[in-house]
Amino acid sequence: MKVAITGATGMVGSGVLHECLSSSETSSVLAVGRRPTGLEHPKLIEIEQADFHDFSDAGAWMKDIDALLWCLGISSAGMSEERYTEITVDYARAAVEALQAHNPQARFIFLSGAGADESEKGRSMWARVKGVAENLVLSAGFRSATIFRPGMILHQVGSGPRGLMQRAGYYAFLPFYLPTRALGGATSQRDIGRAMIEAAAGRVSESRLNSKQINRISKQARAQTS
């Protein structure tokens, strides 16, 4: 299976990248981004994408993948709705339209977040915008599309939380990770990566996955390969 990952230098994306590189189910892994990952691996192919508004030159790699794992994202803290929409919705729309044109049989896996608002009408700006992006992906007509809505995420490999507020929030909640996970509100980089591989392979039937579902899918997949 050939997969492409955006946001592979971010916290979630770097974990997904490591999981995909270590998986026996992937034959090649394309990291699509503005800067290199800093990794070397026989499966890894780095694709420079300077402008996420324009995927007009992406046909060469898009036509050859089985799934696009969209892990590109940013915190909405301190951002205007216009800018957050540009990064969250407009970038995804450009990729969706290009992938539809070149490879409509591909699967699209989109990283969202717990609390995203698919009604697009709530008071929370980030939740509304994420909901718009989710609906865009799900209505695009791909072979399958899966939305990941993780809550708290445990950092295990690759990049950690960025920004002073993000790091402070992460370490403040870290002691509560295990009880939060037990209640279904937390997951990990590797569990997200393993579940994304399952979605990319077409083995996930749900269109939206919360942390509890992500953990279940990951656990079942690991049990089958152990």
Domains and CATH numbers, the chain: 2-225 (3.40.50.720)
Instruction: Confirm if 1 and 30 have CB atoms less than 8 A apart.
Output: no
Read off φ and ψ for residue 182, nearest 5 degrees.
-60, -30
Percent of the chain at pLDDT > 70 equals 97
Confidence of residue 191 (pLDDT cuts 50, 70, 90): very high
Counts of helices then strands in the chain (DSSP H, E): 9, 9
Task: Provide the whole-model pTM.
Answer: 0.94
Mean pLDDT, the chain, whole residue set = 94
Q: Which two tokens stand for residue 97?
A: 């339209």
- Class of residue 86 by CB neighbours under 10 A (exposed 0-12, middle 13-18, buried 19+): middle
Confidence of residue 165 (pLDDT cuts 50, 70, 90): low
Confidence of residue 226 (pLDDT cuts 50, 70, 90): low
- Class of residue 36 by CB neighbours under 10 A (exposed 0-12, middle 13-18, buried 19+): exposed
pLDDT of 146 above 90: yes
What is the spatial distance between Cα 119 and Cα 6, in angstroms, rounded to a whole number?
26
